[in-house]
Structure 1
Amino acid sequence: MNPEPSSAPDDDEQQERRWSERIGAHARLWLALGVLATGLGFLGGLHWAVGLAAHFRVQYVLAALMIGIVAALVRDTRAVVVAAALVCVNVAPVIGATFIGVGPDPDHARALSVMSINVYRDNPDAAAVQAAIREARPDVVGLIEVNARWGGALLEPLKDLYPHQKVATDESMFGLALLSRTPLRDAELIAPGGGGFPVIRARVEGQGGREVTILLVHPPPPIMPSLARAHEAQLDALPEVVRGAGERVVLMGDLNATPWSHPFQALLSGSGLRDSRVGVGIHTTWPAAAPIAGLPLDHVLVKGLEVVARRIGPDVGSDHLPVLVELGW
């Protein structure tokens, strides 16, 4: 008597099919959320909360790539196509804002070098910040989130290199300090857009005797209605400040905005500034512990100057990484 054929292989195939369908369903759900977030990011001019979605385009790309690989493994063709489309739609504005354009040119005559550091108010490692500044020795240093403690821990010890300082300490997150190796002319605090968030404006003399206006800024993060309004107001007001600042301008600091976001692009188009990272890459700065998947929130924008070199500085114990830019005529 012949034994009946076993049904075990059929059971295994059915179980595998069920798992594939379950995984595919989860992949399609996450992709649907990615499509929603991506679409909202393009509507950043409508509302601050919608605009937050635009900042995470690199993260959408990484997530879509991983989901697309999973979808390919379970042979979910439609999910693979959607994942590929998400990658393309999110990569385009990132590349347009950071890679396409004239990059640094080392052949320009040297004008001055600048360094912007969000030191993080509660960072206990002032020695690491000082060491990074002394190693880089830029002509001008902009420090963000400077409270009274940083005066004795950093500003005083640096007076041998940077005797010219304009300081506006604050016990919240919005204290500023501008340090220079050469005299700061007409250094003052201004508050474009109101809201009590200061900007330091000063003029320095670059190589060859030509003056450059420096603007050190730190608008608040747009994470709640009041802060979002103040963030928008300051970024909306900055173009007028830049246009009245002379032929050569450097605007630097933690803008709490990515290069492909609506407020940032509006700042560039309204002021004539250009991003020093163009032609270089994304150069993420926050969070310092995860730069590959982070956000480029710290910026050096220029007008009337050429970018000679740009790099990201070392970890100084802050949640942000420093930005160093060499500028030329």
Structure 2
Amino acid sequence: MTILAWIVRLALGLVGLATMGLCGLALAAPFHWILALFGAWDRLIIVFGIVGLGAFWLGKWRVMTVLQGVALLALLFFNVRVPTDYSPLFPKKSDPSREFVMAWANIHDNRLALKSLASLPEVKKARAIGLGEVPAFSNLQELFPAVDQPESTIPSKETWGVETLGCRVVLPDGELSVSKGRNFGLKARCDGFTLFVLHLQNPTRGRGEGLGIRNLELGVLGETVAKEPGPVLVMGDFNTTPSALPFYRLLKAANLNRVACGGPNAGTWRPIYWSGTTMDRIPGIRVTIDHILVRDLEVQACHVGPDIGSDHFPLIVTLTQPN
């Protein structure tokens, strides 16, 4: 074998090792708080992993090819096992009177983002809206006049800024809480189904504390939703990706399906410092941590909305309202 061939083989091996390292970090992410954020890119890492698999194969690193293949199969298992509803590409025409459009957005205490959200045409058609991290003293009734607001709506300290419009709110009573003074969500009654709107703990806060609290919140949410009879919709910032084990346990415990808004790889969050840069335009680089989950509800359409100036992108879902 010539020196050039050895150099090529070595280069391919290094490419494979780099992608194998990414796969390993993604697989370890659900079990360690430092890696919790990194693991959010697990679906993009699958793409890198396939590149590394090809590099190992071409470089004739047979043992490493097998190990890389096992890592990829494990990542695929964690992603594919999640019960997911994919909105039809060509939804059937239904009775307009039974269409129920809803929107979710984490505003991240950004008043301009809140105004930008309110100006979106699809949000103006929404009959119910869920919001996270709403700035204090925001006049939601003025911003969303088309949404039925049966009660006074003021950003709540009890839920750390989680709000909903268009459905009758059941005041937080500690049911959605794992620590004193913090309700991570609220429950509301809509026409024909129950709505949960929430914002879970950031898993990267503290030295493992954030991840532990978030996992507890997912467990409490699963128990609460499981006890709720009839159709249910859950929306919010879960601060977890679809492949995380605690998220999977939530879906199984409450008999929920995740709605793939915008397809299997459409992300909903990006670091603030990426805003307006070329990073925003790289396919798959955004992270999917905002979710819409349903039980016994027919989803006509769901997509990720445009950039509103927050670090999160809104979700717009259209349901067929239950009889």
1:161 deviates by 3.9
Residue 97 of structure 1: aligned partner: 82
186, 196, 200: which one pairs with 1:200? 186
**Structure 2 partner of 1:5:** none
Identity %: 21
1: CA distance, partners of 2:120 / 2:169: 28
What is the CA–CA distance in structure 1 between the aligned matches of 2:236 and 2:70, rounded to whole Å?
34
**Where does residue 140 of structure 1 map in the other structure?**
128
In structure 1, runs of 5+ residues without a counterpart are: 1-9
Give the direction of change, closer, same or farther, for the CA distance of 1:304–1:190 in structure 2 (3 Å limit).
Answer: farther
1:203 match: secondary structure: strand
- Corresponding residue number in structure 1 for 2:308: 316
Partner of 1:293, secondary structure, is: coil
The equivalent position to 1:175 in structure 2, one of 161, 178, 183, is 161
C-alpha distance in 1, partners of 2:82/2:94?
23
Quote the offset at 1:125 in angstroms.
3.9
CA shift digits 1:209-255 (9 cap, x unpaired): x3x22111001111132222221221111123213433122111111
Find the residue that maps to 2:221 and give its secondary structure.
helix
Which of 305, 318, 323 is matched with 1:326 structurally? 318
| Kept after mapping to 1: 8 A contact 2:78/2:244 | no
TM-aligned CA distance change 1:293 to 1:175, over 3 Å: same
> Pick from 150, 156, 159: which aligns with 2:142?
156
CA distance 1:67–1:134, shift in 2 (3 Å): closer
1:49-100 deviation per Cα after TM superposition (whole angstroms, max 9, x unaligned): 576665332132122233345556655555555445444432343234366x
What residue identity is the alignment partner of 1:157? L
| Structure 1 residues 51 and 34: alpha-carbon distance in aligned structure 2, compared to 1, 3 A threshold | same
* Secondary structure, aligned partner of 1:97: coil
Q: Which moved more, 1:298-307 or 1:154-163?
A: 154-163
Paired position in structure 2 for 1:284:
267
The answer to whether the aligner puts 1:216 opposite 2:203 as a matched pair is no
The residue aligned with 2:15 is 27
CA contact 2:20–2:68 (8 Å) conserved in 1 = no
- Aligned-pair CA distance for 1:24: 3.7
Are the structure 2 counterparts of residues 305 and 60 from structure 1 closer, same or farther at C-alpha, using a change threshold of 3 Å? same
**1:29-48 counterparts in 2 under 5 A?**
29-40=17-28, 44=30
Q: Is the 8 A contact 1:27 1:79 kept in 2?
A: no
Q: Deviations over 1:114-142 (max 9, x none)?
A: 11111222363443211126655111000
Paired AA for residue 158 in structure 1: F
Partner SS, residue 22 of structure 2: helix
User: What is the match of residue 58 of structure 1?
Assistant: 43
1:249 and 2:232 are equivalent in the alignment? yes
CA distance in 2, matches of 1:148, 1:92: 42
The answer to whether the Cα contact below 8 Å between 1:112 and 1:139 also exists between their aligned partners in 2 is: yes
Question: Contact between 1:119 and 1:143, CA under 8 Å: does it hold in 2?
Answer: yes
Please report the RMSD computed on the Cα atoms of aligned residues, expressed in angstroms: 3.4
List, as ranges, runs of 4+ consecutive aligned residues in structure 1 with deviation greater than 6 Å: none
Number of residue pairs matched? 302
State which of 249, 256, 276 in structure 2 corresponds to 1:266. 249
Distance in 1, matches of 2:141 and 2:284, equals 31
